[in-house]
Chains A and B, each alone.
Chain A
Amino acid sequence: MHIDFFGSLPLLVIWLALGAIGIAIQAFVRNNTRLVFGYYSGTLVITALLALITSAHKGTTFGGMISIGGFANYFDVLFCGAGLLAMFAARPYLQRENSELDEFYTMLVSAVSGMMLMAHANNLLVLFVGIELMSISFYIMAGFLRTNIRSIEAALKYFLLGAFATGFLVYGMSLIYGATGSLQYDVIASVIGENRSQFPTLLAIGAVFLAVALSFKIAAFPFHQWAPDVYEGSPTVVTAFMSTAGKAAAFSAFIAVFAVLMPASSLMTPQLQLMLAAVAAITMLVGNVTAVAQTNVKRMLAYSSIAHAGYLLMGIVANGEAGYSAITFYVTSYTFMQLGAFVVVGILERGNEENLQIDDYAGLAKREPVLAFIMAVFMFSLAGIPPFAGFFGKYLLFVAAIESGYTWLTIVAVVSSVVSAYFYLGLVVKMYFTEPHKEHSHVSPGLAGITLFVTVAVSIVLGLFTSQLLSIFGTWW
């Protein structure tokens, strides 16, 4: 079997570091949280560097099951970066909640390795393994505060509904295998592109089932019901990680799978596009309108993350290079701004669900001017106000949708963006123009300060240097 060792280095390194060395360290060293934290931070940094080094080396490995180089390596770097930022935020948070166990970092890195496998998959079964590796790690992380009943509820809900979505995924894959005779992306793409499947109906049902399963992972309407409860109940750092990197991973899979399922020459492409456009439109409307009614910041951000899944789906609807690079850019900026916003929530939060209401943010600018400023940057960026990253990401997605003929979808997106400005800016108004209604103790972010610094910096830099960064992105494809 053909193995390209150089190109497989990022995957091999993270798997060995996780499965052999990391586990051995945890087995033989006592009181090891500090060591494990450092070890896994190093692992993520090295993996990201290797992904950068091997990015120009495109091809397939492991007998064509895994594709390497290019866009997959870009996503590797994004996942490792998000994982590292989440780890820095997690340490002070878990220490405060008295539940820092070394296993948390193992689960986080194993989720990252699953995401990398999703981006690298060139075969539906490899995609399945990647999705499950990521999801199972998430189920465990969601229930990590194991004495907190909300956390347990989140983990159970996520697990039950996630298992259900996995059923759709596997069933869809089996139908596509039946209709095309292969699980390899390139073979499926050529069969669909030349319309030579003997069972077009089964193929269409399989494609819809894959869309259902992936929509569940990105929390798109009507498969978004789990997201608010799970995101609210999970430890805030876990929510920060899984609502951003998890969504980015699901979109990397979405891009790869739907580039295969929707070639321009295929007869079912227009219907699939229309279906995804409808899902995207309803998702952003439902997400944004429901977010307006929320009084809990975590829940509000959860609905905002649903709405962003809707925006991102526009890039899939656009079905082409422009749409995919718009998704890549927007999912990058979304990862950093949403992760940062959740980390701010995690820093202000106190055990037992305290300081999570929007009213608790009243007068934050007077108590914690730096944190309030950082939160305001994220809110402006999420609302899509220039010069922050969110604006240019949305702009690129809207242009891609218009150029593919979906003007009505762009109108819906603009209207729902206007709705979203109401609650994002509402929080900023609360922080800057109201008086605090109760006494708060001073908070210190600790290591999470690094996360906040990086996320704010990226949210601003991506906005200021968009065109230069896009031309760099162009070389990754």
Chain B
Amino acid sequence: MILDYMPLIIMIVVGLIFGVSNIVLAENLGPKRSTRAKLSTYESGMEPVKTARERFTVKFYLVAMMFILFDIEIVFMYPWAVQFRELGYYGLSAMVLFMVLLFSGYLYVIKKGALKWD
């Protein structure tokens, strides 16, 4: 039983040794010549401008939520579309109900001014 897992265990052990030894060796053997550019925050090659600890306006959060709303809708619609014939009228009515619920939530968000960007 446990022998069946032997290759897996060996792989884990080898992986551990390889990873740890690489980090330790690089830390101890490598030359350290730090420059200003090397020590600064990595931002895809751009110059970092200011601190990352900033407060965002809550509107970004609302837009992200709306995005998730439609994201979820698509997640449910693809499998339904694939099985459209087999699910028949039951699937259609369930999907219409689902979209009515989502849409009324969307209307609510719009009416409350979530997309007004002053």
Contacts and interface: CB of A to CB of B under 8 A. Distances in A.
Interface in A1-58: 1, 19-20, 23-24, 26-28
Contact of A27 (B90, B100, B101, B107): B107
Nearest to B107: A27
Interface residues of A, number: 8
B105 A23 contact: yes
Given A19-B105, A20-B101, 12 more contacts: A20-B100, A20-B104, A23-B104, A23-B105, A23-B107, A23-B108, A24-B107, A26-B108, A27-B108, A27-B110, A27-B112, A28-B107
B38 interface: no
Contacts of A1: 90
A28 B110 CA distance: 10
A24 B104 contact: yes
Contacts of B104: 19-20, 23-24, 27
A1 B89 CA distance: 11
Contacts of B110: 27
- B100, B101, B108: residue with the most chain A Cβ atoms closer than 10 Å: B108
B111 A19 contact: no
Interface of B: 90, 100-101, 104-105, 107-108, 110-112
Contacts of B105: 19, 23
Main secondary structure of the interface of A (DSSP, over half): helix
23 contacts: A1-B90, A19-B101, A19-B104, A19-B105, A20-B100, A20-B101, A20-B104, A23-B104, A23-B105, A23-B107, A23-B108, A24-B104, A24-B107, A24-B108, A26-B108, A27-B104, A27-B107, A27-B108, A27-B110, A27-B111, A27-B112, A28-B107, A28-B111
Nearest to A20: B104
Contacts of A28: 107, 111
B96 to A, nearest CB: 11
A1 B105 CA distance: 27
B104 to A, nearest CB: 5
B36 to A, nearest CB: 40
B113 to A, nearest CB: 11
Contacts of A19: 101, 104-105
Which 10 pairs of residues, A with B, have the shortest CB-CB distance? A27-B111, A27-B108, A19-B101, A23-B104, A23-B108, A27-B107, A20-B104, A24-B104, A20-B100, A20-B101
B35 to A, nearest CB: 42
A24 B109 CA distance: 10
B38 to A, nearest CB: 38
A160 to B, nearest CB: 18
Contacts of B90: 1
A255 to B, nearest CB: 30
Contacts of A20: 100-101, 104
Contacts of B111: 27-28
Contacts of B101: 19-20
A19 B104 CA distance: 7
